[in-house]
Structure 1
Amino acid sequence: MTSTIVVLTEESLVDRDIENLRSLVGDTPVRFDVLVPADPGRNLLVDVLDNLSLLDFAQAFRDLTGGRPSKADEVKEAVTSLAESLEQLKAAGLEATGTVTGEDPVAAVVETAKRTSADQVVVITRPHAVEDTFRTDWANEAQHRLGVPVLHLYTGSGFIGES
């Protein structure tokens, strides 16, 4: 029987993310259901603080000076990220489907996990200092709402978030 793992990511999966997912499942037949939010619900002040904590001063400045994408651009970026992620997973020989979510990514994860009887949820994000510190990140929120394990990985690395 094939189990399901729901993957919530804020950007395209990269090779290291695929390796992490492959090592997570081993030879077990798994279907991945990938979710990419079109509106991640990010807060400008929190984004600036996150970027400053990561010493990404250029991005913090861009955020402050109006460098944020329009809603249409966010949807377009999410569709592209989803297509790239599905292509990466399928190229690695993994079964995957996916959707672009709306305003509440965690609600989408909960609904998808329940609908698919998912065995696990994996949240793959960049580090977010404020949310991670105060445990308000997507992985912690999903863990509180679901009865399945939630793994929080940082994109492009093997680092595990605190969820």
Structure 2
Amino acid sequence: MPTTIILTEDALTDADVQHIADLQTEQPERYRVLVPEDTDSDVVSAIIDHLWSGELREAGEDLVGREPTPDEAKVIAADRLERSLTLLRATGVAADGEVTAEDPVPALAAAVSAEGGPDGVQGVVVVTYPHVVADTLRRDWASRARQKLRAPVLHLYAGTSEIGD
């Protein structure tokens, strides 16, 4: 069964689902969604990302904000996963998924392997917000996934029609 595996740091939006569908040559029979427990752990990078984007208030909130507890992080991730699955299922395609550990790239590699490797999946899509530091240094999830999987990975910026490197 052709599967598209999606790794996302936040709940997918209607726009994200539409962009994923538009960029695929044919609709998959199934989506598998991975959402990590905690995507806000690198405070310095988050502050730089907000400053680079002109989001001064958000940078200040990151500076004085508190990290969610492990239990809160699991609840947040489960909610993001459920909202993403609901939108994907609304397109008429089967969708399932899981909450992963903080570093989701190993879970992504395992999911691809479970489908028969890079040739066994219809596509791998990583949906993130722009992260200036990680994207520039090629330490973002999409770049790391490409290195680990040795396969094409589509990187979309959440809520936009922009494609990352």
Indicate whether the TM-score tops 0.5: yes
Q: Is it true that 1:66 corresponds to 2:65 in the alignment?
A: yes
Aligned to 1:97: 96
Misfit runs of 4+, over 6 Å:
none
Kindly indicate whether the alpha-carbon contact (under 8 Å) linking 1:11 and 1:36 is maintained by their aligned counterparts in 2: yes
1:123 equivalent in structure 2:
126
Indicate the residue corresponding to 1:16 in structure 2. 15
Counting only pairs closer than 5 Å after superposition, residues 147-158 of structure 1 correspond to structure 2 as 147-158=150-161
Q: How does 1:126-141 map to 2 (within 5 A)?
A: 126-141=129-144
Identity %: 39
Aligned counterparts of 2:46 and 2:58: Cα–Cα separation in 1: 9
CA–CA distance in 2 between the matches of 1:11 and 1:82?
Answer: 8
**Deviations along 1:95-129, whole A, 9 cap, x unmatched?**
21100001220111011111122242100011111
Unaligned ranges ≥5, structure 1: none
Cα deviation, 1:53-80, whole Å, max 9, x if unaligned, reads: 1111112111111333222221111000
Q: CA RMSD in A?
A: 1.5
Number of matched pairs: 161
Q: Which moved more, 1:50-59 or 1:134-143?
A: 50-59
TM-score normalised per structure 1: 0.92
Separation in 2 of the partners of 1:112 and 1:24?
21
CA distance in 2, matches of 1:7, 1:104: 15
Deviation of the 1:49 alpha carbon: 0.6
Contact 1:41–1:104 (8 Å) recurs in 2:
no
8 Å Cα contact 2:4/2:31 also seen in 1: yes
Write the letter of the residue equivalent to 2:58: Q
Q: 1:143 aligns with which of 143, 146, 156?
A: 146
How far the C-alpha of 1:20 sits from its partner, in A, is: 1.2
Map 1:41-60 → 2, pairs under 5 A:
42-60=41-59
TM-score by length of 2: 0.91
Deviates more, 1:39-48 or 1:116-125: 39-48
The letter of the residue matching 1:85 is S
Amino acid aligned to 1:81 = R
